[in-house]
Amino acid sequence: MSRSVMLTGTGKRYDIVSAFAQHTKVVACDPNPLAPAQYAATVRTSVPLIKDPDYVPALQRLVAEHDVGAIVPLTDLDIDVLAHARADGRLPEALVPDPVIAEHTYDKYACHELLQQHGLPSPPTVKPADIDAAPFPVMVKPIHGSGARNIFPAADAREAAFFVDYIDEPVMLQRLMDGPEFSIDCLSDRDGRCLNAIPRTMLESRGGESIKGTIIADAELVDLGCRTVEAFGVRGPATVQVFRDKDIGLGITDVNTRFGGAFPAPVYAARPGQSYPELIARMADGETIAPHVGDFQAGTTFTRYFWQLELDAELAPTGRDIVAPPGPPVPS
């Protein structure tokens, strides 16, 4: 029998949970019993908050109960906790990087420094103490930001100083990249080998999450994504965010060691049997996956939308919906 895959912090990511559920038994964990994505799973369960001392023990109990072979976090919030639990042997099933990488990728300035150490392109970046040396124009952005929160462009030191004072958290000043933005959706095995890297355009984003984009065959981006996740020793999914500046070329602005908001894009682009949920399900069973970097179908476009579930008095799905069928008919 196939081993299960556990997804933590499922929240609203019904698309991710349902994609996994097509290929394996899925245990969906979230502190909120109304987290909608849990309803796409084989097993839905509430767990303690991440800061609770019982969070990791609760996951350990679920691993034992449901024969979990891989754990994949769906948010940034517990990657560091899972990284330490993997490193000390409590949750060896977790597909997360080593603790030092988890800490560096959560801290955007530390990530910038780590990229430089590995010879990977990162836009010129300084802290507020070095504002006079800032590479204007810049983006003033939180060091621990997410969801495009509190990010502001500044043309000069006067504007930058205003936003440094305005934003109520530690920030950095990073060159404002003048060119198109891309994301590279990557997947690595348990040994940190890149299995594939699939680039996409960022046609439209809301709240830092891509909602429209197109898969592209760009060898330079494929190579950069692969080199980045292998340099960082990533395990499991990662999203590398990149700009192609007209003057300085490629620059990595973020490395998220989880699935990106545009998760459906690499699923649509994958060859049969090579979608990331399928590969992770196979890894959960102990299978060694052969790298196939650059092998995907380019040219498809995704556009994301909202949906909902109706639950009865016992919080079970009724199966009823206000729109049927959910989407246009498929051409024969």
Q: Is the pTM for the entire model greater than 0.85?
A: yes
SS (H, E, C) 28-52: EEECCCCCHHHHHCCEEEECCCCCC
Distance CA(180)–CA(203), nearest Å, equals 9
Q: Give 306 or 7, the one with higher predicted confidence.
A: 7
pLDDT tier at 305 (50, 70, 90 boundaries)?
Answer: confident
Partnered with residue 174 across adjacent β-strands are 125, 139
| Burial of residue 100 (number of CB atoms within 10 Å: 0-12, 13-18, 19+) | middle
Domains and CATH numbers, the chain: 4-96 (3.40.50.20), 124-175 (3.30.1490.20), 181-303 (3.30.470.20)
In this predicted structure, the answer to whether residue 245 has a pLDDT above a threshold of 70 is yes
Give the chain's length.
332
| Burial of residue 211 (number of CB atoms within 10 Å: 0-12, 13-18, 19+) | middle
pLDDT for 57 equals: 98
| Cis peptide leading into residue 272 (ω within 30°) | no
In this predicted structure, the answer to whether residue 146 has a pLDDT above a threshold of 90 is no
β-pairing verdict for 236-245 and 181-188: antiparallel
In the block, residue with structure tokens 């099933």? 93
| Angle at which helices 108-117 and 99-106 cross, to 10° | 120
Which DSSP category does 57 fall into? H
Query: How far is CA 74 from each of CA 120, 130, 234, rounded to the nearest angstrom?
Result: 26, 35, 15
Segment 169-183, tens digit of pLDDT: 999 999 999 999 999
In this predicted structure, the answer to whether residue 285 has a pLDDT above a threshold of 70 is yes
| Burial of residue 188 (number of CB atoms within 10 Å: 0-12, 13-18, 19+) | buried
Distance CA(183)–CA(204), nearest Å, equals 12
pLDDT for 102 equals: 97
pLDDT tier at 322 (50, 70, 90 boundaries)?
Answer: confident
In this predicted structure, the answer to whether residue 325 has a pLDDT above a threshold of 90 is no
Which DSSP category does 206 fall into? E
pLDDT for 330 equals: 62
In this predicted structure, the answer to whether residue 20 has a pLDDT above a threshold of 70 is yes
Read off the pLDDT of each residue in 269-273 and give the average, rounded to a whole number.
Answer: 96
The overall average pLDDT reported for the chain is: 94
Distance CA(322)–CA(190), nearest Å, equals 43
pLDDT for 232 equals: 98
pLDDT for 211 equals: 85
What's the longest Cα–Cα distance across the chain?
63
pLDDT for 147 equals: 65
Distance CA(271)–CA(261), nearest Å, equals 21
